[in-house]
Amino acid sequence: MREVFLVLVGIGVIAPYTAFAPWMFDYGPDIGLFIESMFENRIAGFFALDVIVSAVVLIVAAVHAQRRGGKGLVSVITATLLIGVSAGLPLYLYHRLRDAKPQQP
């Protein structure tokens, strides 16, 4: 299952950047326009807020896991902030499985 999560991290990096990279090439790093575009209409705003809330929840979960002894979770926060939840969440799940103790039969 860990390998599946790593593949999903790759997909979580590539998929959103297929939309973001062309926008960035067209408009450059215009933060104001980026935020305006995110909330251009109610549906776009719905998705933007959903992702923002999901990112906050994921970061809180990663910080909590780090405090309980999880390792590598700084990478989860970094991936979430620089790429998005689509990369941060499968990376978080990968770390959770990697750090989990083997189950007794």
* Ranges of each domain in the chain: 2-99
What is the C-alpha separation between 55 and 73, in angstroms, rounded? 14
What is the C-alpha separation between 27 and 4, in angstroms, rounded? 35
pLDDT at 83: 94
Digit-coded pLDDT (tens) for 41-77: 999 999 999 999 999 999 999 998 888 877 778 999 9
pLDDT exceeds cutoff 80 at 103: no
| pLDDT band for position 32 (cuts 50, 70, 90) | very high
Residue 103 parent element (H or E) = none
pLDDT at 104: 55
* Mean pLDDT calculated for residue range 26-40: 95
pLDDT at 101: 67
CB 102 within 8 A of CB 34: no
